[in-house]
Amino acid sequence: MKKNIITIVVILGALAAIAYVLVGNKKENKAKTDIVAEKNAAVSVKIETVKTQEVSLDFESNGSFEPTQELTFSAEKSGKVVRVLAKEGDYVSVGQTLAIVRSDVIDVNAQTANSSYQNAAADYSRYENAYKTGGVTKQQLDQARLAMVNAKAQLTQANINVGDTRIKAPISGFINKKYIEPGSILAGMPATALFDIVNVSKLKLKVTVNETQVASLKVGTAIKVTASVYPDQSFSGKITFIAAKADASLNFPVEIEIANNTANDLKAGMYGTAKFASNKQKESLMIVPRNAFVGSVSSNQIFVIENGAAKLKTVVAGRILGDKVEILNGLSDGETVIVTGQINLQDGSKVEIIK
């Protein structure tokens, strides 16, 4: 009996000890949870300080080079290709023969048309002499003249058909793709593609600029251009087109024409950068990072930090200068703006600054 009592006492003591430990752990876990909850209530953000500084008004814009001339040209007449005189990669000049189409029947037709014209011309000459002596009437002379004119027109068309058997380059440039081989049959409807020709002696760089930048640009202005694959080379260009209307992203397309070097180093499709120089080299401006704006610059809203919390402010944005934006009103030097984490913020949210 005594032994049973001792056993019960020991068991109760063990249970009490276990209960004590569990209660302690619960309190400790609750304290940790409260700390984590308090910490998680603050949104992690990165910040930058508003400051007035000298800023270069020069700017750059990127785009891709395109040829000023490119053409996929097709056969005007049907026939069988007997010779191809150009291959991919060749440089060809305008008017150069690139392929020859079988011309047996066409040549015969041209010879027949020539004979018909010579006969008609001879007949007209005889009728003209006879008319002077009264041997033929005026009507007969007119009919002879009409026959000669018709024969001349048929000969002209026959000679054009002969010329069409020699397919010639309509522009100068490089053969970028060849679609035919000897033995290819050319169709008139739909027309058979023959060659792609690309002229890269001059190229155009298409870029976009924003509304504050486009206001300072003029057609004909000289522009320095670089290519990503030739970072140490500079190419001369000039503005040839400025869009009168912004695109869907509210930017204005601008085209710059560039004269290629003698080696034609620039290729269509390469990545290029246009460097626009401002009349004013530098200006003292209050600026903030572009990513400080909520959504986009056009929203004119920025979060600043006041007493450890985010405060939403409405500002007046000026010019966009690369990754910086001019602030005309709404902020002061020394204020702290939030540049990342705005998506999780509301006005008054507590913040934790990430160093």
- ω into 190 cis (within 30 of 0): yes
Q: Confirm whether 23 is domain-assigned.
A: no
Q: 151 with 108, same domain? A: yes
Q: Confirm whether 82 is domain-assigned.
A: no
Structure confidence at residue 303 (pLDDT): 94
Does residue 205 surpass a pLDDT of 90? yes
Q: pTM for this one?
A: 0.57
Q: What is the DSSP letter of 76?
A: S
Structure confidence at residue 85 (pLDDT): 94
pLDDT tens digits for range 168-196: 999 999 999 999 999 998 876 778 899 99
Section 129-148 average pLDDT: 88
Structure confidence at residue 37 (pLDDT): 42
Q: Confirm whether 39 is domain-assigned.
A: no
Lowest average pLDDT, out of 33-47, 275-289, 332-346, goes to 33-47
Does residue 80 surpass a pLDDT of 80? yes
Q: 296 with 265, same domain? A: no
Q: 300 with 334, same domain? A: yes
Does residue 39 surpass a pLDDT of 60? no
Confidence category of residue 7, pLDDT binned at 50, 70, 90 = low
* The domain boundary residue, chosen from 276, 307, 325: 276
Q: What is the dihedral of CA 305, 311, 314, 317, to 10 degrees?
A: 20
Structure confidence at residue 22 (pLDDT): 58
- Residue 205's CATH number: 2.40.30.170
* The domain boundary residue, chosen from 225, 260, 276: 276
How is 20-67 classified by DSSP, letter by letter?
A: HHHHHHHHHHHHHHHHHHHHHTSEEEEEEE-EEEEEE--EEEEEEEEE
Structure confidence at residue 186 (pLDDT): 86
- As for how many domains the chain has, the answer is 3
Q: Which residue has the higher pLDDT, 107 or 61?
A: 61
Lowest average pLDDT, out of 12-26, 210-224, 323-337, goes to 12-26
- Residue 118's CATH number: 1.10.287.470
3-state secondary structure of 203: strand
Mean pLDDT over each residue of the chain, to the nearest integer: 84
* The domain boundary residue, chosen from 260, 276, 292: 276
Q: Confirm whether 122 is domain-assigned.
A: yes
Lowest average pLDDT, out of 5-14, 141-150, 308-317, 336-345, goes to 5-14
The dihedral of CA 340, 343, 347, 351: what is its sign? negative
The Cα 338–Cα 293 span in angstroms is 9
Identify which of 254, 206, 263 has the alpha carbon closest to the alpha carbon of residue 233.
263
Q: Confirm whether 130 is domain-assigned.
A: yes
The Cα 45–Cα 344 span in angstroms is 9
Q: Which residue has the higher pLDDT, 290 or 27?
A: 290
3-state secondary structure of 108: helix
Structure confidence at residue 38 (pLDDT): 47
Q: 293 with 250, same domain? A: no
- Residue 335's CATH number: 2.40.420.20
Q: 202 with 266, same domain? A: yes
- Strand-strand pairing, 282-289 and 324-329: antiparallel
Question: What residues does 340 pair with on adjacent strands?
Answer: 46
Structure confidence at residue 5 (pLDDT): 61
Q: 254 with 229, same domain? A: yes
Structure confidence at residue 320 (pLDDT): 76
Q: What is the dihedral of CA 57, 61, 66, 67, to 10 degrees?
A: 10
Q: With contact defined as beta carbons under 8 Å apart, do 81 and 186 qualify? A: yes
Identify which of 55, 61, 66 has the alpha carbon closest to the alpha carbon of residue 224.
61
The Cα 113–Cα 121 span in angstroms is 12
Section 17-43 average pLDDT: 56
Q: 272 with 291, same domain? A: no
Q: Confirm whether 180 is domain-assigned.
A: no
Q: 258 with 287, same domain? A: no
Q: Confirm whether 32 is domain-assigned.
A: no
- Strand-strand pairing, 351-353 and 43-49: parallel
Structure confidence at residue 28 (pLDDT): 60
Proportion of the chain above pLDDT 90, given as a percent: 37
Q: Confirm whether 2 is domain-assigned.
A: no
Q: 292 with 247, same domain? A: no
Does residue 279 surpass a pLDDT of 60? yes
Domain that holds residue 153: 104-161
Section 59-67 average pLDDT: 90
Structure confidence at residue 40 (pLDDT): 52
